[in-house]
Amino acid sequence: MSIINEALKKIEPEGKIETISHSKKRKGWTVFIFLSLILILTSFTLLEISISTGKTKFLTGFTLLKKQPSLLPEKDKSLSLPSPSLNSSEDRLPPSLILKGIAHFGEENWAIIDDQIVRQGQFIKGAKVEEIFSDHVELTFEGKIFTLQITP
């Protein structure tokens, strides 16, 4: 048995040396990967900070341009004509609508105005369809009644 013990003792120190060097290699790779991750996360954080503050020259080489002053003289706003009021009902005209057809289905009447099918009570271009007759349609626009005749 002494021969076996001596053989085991010779092998044992060699095994310890291999495991020690193997653990050192693993520890080295772990440190390398950890430092690489920290470096990558730091670069992304710096990029995000530089983009959010508008200082992108550090990372991208580009800067944001400021608005250049105009070479043309500014227009005097006091000389311009006042714009017409869009809210006054006197200035607004009823929309130009074309009645293309009328259909009767029992008690329901339908009209084709500007390639849209409408019935009584619906709106088209701001005008309300009041009544649909066999040969014309009555609409109201801002309280005024106007009629549309079928166009051939």
Q: What is the pLDDT averaged over residues 44-53?
A: 79
- The reported pTM is 0.39
* pLDDT band at 89; cut points 50, 70, 90: very low
**Domain positions in the chain:** 2-60, 99-149
Structure token pair of residue 57: 């020259």
Alpha-carbon gap, residue 61 to 47, rounded angstroms: 12
Query: Tell me: the pLDDT tens digits for 55-67?
Result: 555 445 555 555 5
Q: What is residue 15's predicted lDDT score, i.e. its pLDDT?
A: 47
Q: Is 107 exposed, middle or buried (0-12, 13-18, 19+ CB in 10 A)?
A: exposed
> Nearest 5°: phi and psi at 88?
-75, 130
More confident site: 66 or 37: 37
Report the range of poorest mean pLDDT among 53-57, 83-87, 102-106, 141-145.
Answer: 83-87
Q: What is residue 93's predicted lDDT score, i.e. its pLDDT?
A: 65
Closest CA to 120 of 101, 139, 100: 139
3-state SS assignment for residue 58: helix
pLDDT above 50: residue 136 = yes
Whole-number percent of the chain with pLDDT over 70: 63
Q: In what order do the strands lie in the sheet with 108-113?
A: 99-105, 108-113, 116-119
Query: Tell me: the pLDDT tens digits for 109-121?
Result: 899 988 889 999 9
